[in-house]
Amino acid sequence: MAISEEGYLLRCWDTGVCPYCGRAFTAKQRVGSGDKKQGGFCSVSCYGNYYKVDLLRRHQHVLEKIREFKWE
């Protein structure tokens, strides 16, 4: 049976392994949102690369809202 993404991220959190690059790290080195379900990463770079598509989509949404804003 395949493991869900959330299950994979939780397993990586518990074992101290970066879900993006596979490098081991300590709890003090963990980077991420702070939400265990979203995983913990060994660096900001790995966090950004793992969530790149989601972060770009959010960024695009903010840009669209800024363009819609009427400056008075």
pLDDT per residue as tens, the chain (72 positions) = 578 999 999 999 999 999 999 999 998 999 998 889 999 999 999 999 999 998 899 999 999 998 888 766
Phi and psi at residue 51, in whole multiples of 5°?
-100, 20
Beta bridge partners of 31: 41
As a whole number of angstroms, the distance between CA 64 and CA 11 comes to 36
CA of 30: how far to CAs of 26, 46, 57, in Å?
7, 11, 24
Taken in order 24, 29, 32, 34, the sign of the CA dihedral is positive
What is the structure's pLDDT at 68? 86
pLDDT of residue 69: 83
pTM: 0.73
Give the model's pLDDT for residue 72: 64
pLDDT of residue 13: 94
